[in-house]
Structure 1
């Protein structure tokens, strides 16, 4: 059996949808905080179980019978994510899982200034000490481009801090590749980087956007502290703003520049590019 956590969220939910095209629903279980939100999966034959990283006993029960477990990483900046992920790994081991897959992050290496890198590194170390086969899916950035680029269609400007090359990756491509790993014969031991084929900068996005819009879209570099002040004015909490600033700092330092072939190999096609994603966003 395959057990998926976070199945009522974006990535976990999309992964389950792709799994349902590959294996019988009875071979899939989900461990979710609120079972009511997974009723649509139960109606299709998926086993829905209650579990959360904060409740080790319930988590162990929700992983019962698992051959593989997909641990979708938490993202609460106020929580002790390392301790919560340790609970999840230990529960999967106790349930007898033969392989644990964990959604890590591209560039999860020492020195990366992007704050979540630290708990991803620590979680990968916990997996390495678990005694169970494991795969860390170091996923490329897959956030919505309207959040990444801002309201360029309205303003004609991409105004963000200094950045660096990033292979902005389609979330559904990552979900499909994850389902292929869970359901297929291919496996990776340890970390594997899953990204779009090409890393691009905001300058590149401005060129792509200009072609799509038929007018010049300008790239404006905003000073870090000015950007923080602007975000605070918009009502974004300072903790979130400072966290996002570390992402820009990591990008400009080259921590997200790496690309790799694994995503294309798992999909059996080229992943969606940044240009594909921006065109879809602009048409929406």
Structure 2
């Protein structure tokens, strides 16, 4: 059985849909925190069980009979995130999974300026130290992140963000299909993958230009100092730790951590990747 965690989330739900195009429903299981939210999957024959990365006993039940397990990285930060991922990995191994897959990130590194990359690097290292085949899907930077900035830019005519650098904005739909392929075709991606990215690199200056074209309104990219941007974000109601977390993304971008594009994703999909422009069009 193929087990997917986080199957009601933005990425996980898409992966399940793509996997059901490749595998019978009775061979697919999901581990979710709230089984009620996955009732539609249960109606289609998918095995739905409750599982929480902080509760090993529950994961044992959720992963029962697993052949392959996809662990979608937890939406928590710091040491707790590493511990949660390791708990899920251990549970998958104990369940007898022949392969463990994990959603990592293209910039996973122990010296990244963006906190999630430290978690991904630690989890990759943990997987590599086990006696079981694994796949760390080094996903490109989610293009949906742009949604946090588009609304204000369209309202004010200004895209105000700190100094940045190029991002390889990549669509959830493409990454979901890649994960489904890796789950259905065991071994097609082994170990730490190359960056799974769209081919185009865009900084926020380029994003502002595309928004201008799509909206018919001039959108000007305005560079704010880090402290200035953080103070404004906090004044708008963003918790200070969250604002500092986001600053890490911009600091990493201007160091070039996300300025990497690779052909692996398009080769795996057998088609062009969805461009950031199309994602932005859907956000307007």
TM normalised by structure 1 equals 0.95
Q: CA deviation at 1:186?
A: 5.4
Q: CA deviation at 1:93?
A: 0.8
The residue that corresponds to 1:245 in the other structure is: 247
Deviation digits for residues 138-185 of structure 1, max 9, x if unmatched? 111213422144522221111101110001111111111111111135
Q: CA deviation at 1:95?
A: 1.0
The residue that corresponds to 1:41 in the other structure is: 41
Mapped partners of 2:256, 2:110: distance in 1? 13
SS in structure 1 opposite 2:54?
A: coil
Deviation digits for residues 69-90 of structure 1, max 9, x if unmatched? 0000012136611111111111
Mapped partners of 1:277, 1:8: distance in 2? 21
CA contact (8 A) 2:110 2:122 kept: no
How many residues are treated as equivalent by the alignment?
A: 282
CA contact (8 A) 2:159 2:220 kept: yes
The residue that corresponds to 1:14 in the other structure is: 14
SS in structure 2 opposite 1:210?
A: helix
Mapped partners of 1:140, 1:54: distance in 2? 27
The residue that corresponds to 1:71 in the other structure is: 71
Question: CA 1:120–1:78 in structure 2 vs 1: closer, same or farther (change >3 Å)?
Answer: closer
SS in structure 1 opposite 2:201?
A: coil
1:98 counterpart = 2:94: no
Mapped partners of 2:11, 2:146: distance in 1? 16
Root-mean-square deviation (CA), in Å?
1.4
Mapped partners of 2:121, 2:93: distance in 1? 19
CA contact (8 A) 1:109 1:117 kept: yes
Q: CA deviation at 1:214?
A: 2.9
CA contact (8 A) 1:149 1:160 kept: no
SS in structure 1 opposite 2:69?
A: strand
TM normalised by structure 2 equals 0.95
Q: CA deviation at 1:51?
A: 1.2
Candidates 203, 207, 221, aligned match of 1:219: 221
SS in structure 2 opposite 1:102?
A: strand
CA contact (8 A) 1:232 1:241 kept: yes
1:31 counterpart = 2:31: yes
5+ long unaligned stretches in structure 2: none
The residue that corresponds to 1:203 in the other structure is: 205
